Amino acid sequence: MPPKVELIPIRVPMTEPFRISSGSVDTKESILVRIEDDGLIAWGEASPMSGAFYSIDTPESTLAFLREEAIPRWESAGHPGPAFVSEQLQDSEGNRFAWAGFEGALWDFRLQREGRSFSDEFGGETKPIESGLAVGIYPTIEKLVERCHHYLMEGYKRLKIKIEPGWDVEPLKAIRSEFPTLPLMVDANAAYRREHFSLLEALDEFDLMMIEQPLAAEDLKGHADLQSRIGTPICLDESAESPARVRKAIELGSCRIVNIKIQRVGGLSAAKAIHDLCAQEGIANWMGTMPELGIASLHALYMATLPNCLYPTDVESSARWFQEDIVEPPIEVKGGMIQLPPEHTKRPMVDEERVERWRMA
């Protein structure tokens, strides 16, 4: 019997809307990839945001690509292992979320069969992982400060706020006066242009850990110019779409930090390659999230134990964003730290009842 691959689109309500400079969304959709073979069941998660504001990949385009392209190609290649995805990434552009979800399932299958864990392949020393709080853009500064107080009670190790032109200096002044010593960073999601350089220079006074993706994803040269003018380290996120792009950014001096997102780069193998490259070049990393549900979040947590992941991860408690996660137990932040539950130390444990509950008709 050939392996059975099932694509399961699911939709989970979010506890609050996820809002960035380009748009917002209030449900989380993922395409789960379930492979069954030889009595083993393996899972992956392709996790683009709904709508097209976050990336050009949507749940619909990702599902269609998996169904019509990725899986037929894999079947005609004779059901190879996860290296198949690395080869495809070199020969084709786009559909990174789809490939990340498929590769996750292929790795899960391979590792189960070999009796190894994700940490054996992609992780470092098993240890508690620092988690940082990320808050979106709010209608008022009062609401932003109130939300920060609310969530920081849970002990997160740093705060990240989203900024955009017109929502930057004033909210930062308010946050800094409320939390003078809190490790603080900002994420602009590419909302600024070169005419904003003097404004971005003014952010140095807030003693930020980093400013994440101030300029457009393709503007590596602009980031290099800006980095030479500001003391705050620039962290690339949207620009860091492949090992080759990251190499180019490092050569140009566009950043001092790189946020690694497994979904954006097309899977764990590409993410690990970026980590290893940055480690070699003295560029720090941390593991970002979009955010994803539990399978993909756990993949990020395995990698967050790698030695060059030097800043807190964006992975938060499952309950922070989702009414219910599909892994059991859910991810939990305690005192600002995530300790992987023993159930998930080898691989993500998926609750199939919950998958059924949130499966889209």
Cβ-contact 245, 219 below 8 angstroms: no
Min CB(104)–Mg ion separation in Å: 21
Q: Residue 236 or residue 250: which is nearer to Mg ion going by CB? A: 236
The amino acid at residue 50 is S
Choices 55-63, 164-172, 181-189, 275-283; region in contact with Mg ion by CB under 5 A: 181-189
Min CB(34)–Mg ion separation in Å: 29
Q: Residue 133 or residue 350: which is nearer to Mg ion going by CB? A: 133
For position 241 contacting Mg ion by CB under 5 A, the verdict is no
Min CB(290)–Mg ion separation in Å: 9
Choices 39-47, 109-117, 139-147, 236-244; region in contact with Mg ion by CB under 5 A: 236-244
Distance of CA 213 to the CA centre of its chain: 14
Among the listed residues 28, 157, 160, 261, the single catalytic one is 261
User: What binding mask, one character per residue, do residues 71-110 give for Mg ion by CB under 5 A, x or -?
Assistant: ----------------------------------------
Question: Is residue 162 among the annotated active site residues?
Answer: yes
Whole-Å CA distances, 208 to 7, 183, 212, 232, 290:
42, 7, 10, 6, 22
Q: Residue 237 or residue 325: which is nearer to Mg ion going by CB? A: 237
Pull the structure tokens for residue 149: 């107080």
Choices 89-97, 184-192, 199-207, 270-278; region in contact with Mg ion by CB under 5 A: 184-192
> Could you give the CA distance from residue 287 to residue 278 in angstroms, rounded to a whole number?
13
Q: Which of 57, 168, 219, 237 binds Mg ion (CB under 5 A)?
A: 237
Residue 336's region, left for phi above 0, alpha for psi from -120 to 50, else beta, is left
Q: Residue 212 or residue 292: which is nearer to Mg ion going by CB? A: 212
Min CB(237)–Mg ion separation in Å: 4
Q: What are phi and psi of 175, to 5 degrees?
A: -65, -45
Q: Which of 29, 168, 187, 316 binds Mg ion (CB under 5 A)?
A: 187
Choices 98-106, 109-117, 215-223, 234-242; region in contact with Mg ion by CB under 5 A: 234-242
Distance of CA 29 to the CA centre of its chain: 15
Among the listed residues 28, 162, 272, 346, the single catalytic one is 162
The amino acid at residue 358 is W
Please identify the residue of the shown chain whose CB is closest to the bound Mg ion.
Answer: 237
Q: Which residues contact 317 (CB under 8 A, 6 or more apart)?
A: 131, 154, 330, 331, 332, 333
> Could you give the CA distance from residue 154 to residue 148 in angstroms, rounded to a whole number?
10
Min CB(319)–Mg ion separation in Å: 22
Min CB(95)–Mg ion separation in Å: 20
Min CB(259)–Mg ion separation in Å: 6
The amino acid at residue 236 is L
Which of 3, 37, 47 has the alpha carbon at shortest distance from 112? 37
Sheet containing 333-334, strands listed edge to edge, beginning at the edge strand earlier in sequence: 129-130, 337-338, 333-334
Residue 6: how many other CB atoms lie within 10 Å:
11
Q: Residue 315 or residue 327: which is nearer to Mg ion going by CB? A: 315
Cβ-contact 191, 216 below 8 angstroms: no
Choices 7-15, 32-40, 232-240, 319-327; region in contact with Mg ion by CB under 5 A: 232-240
Q: Residue 119 or residue 254: which is nearer to Mg ion going by CB? A: 254
Type and span of the H or E element at 285? strand 284-287
Pick out residues in 199-228 that bind Mg ion (CB under 5 A): 212
Q: Which residues are catalytic?
A: 162, 261
Interface contacts to Mg ion, rule CB under 5 A: 187, 212, 237
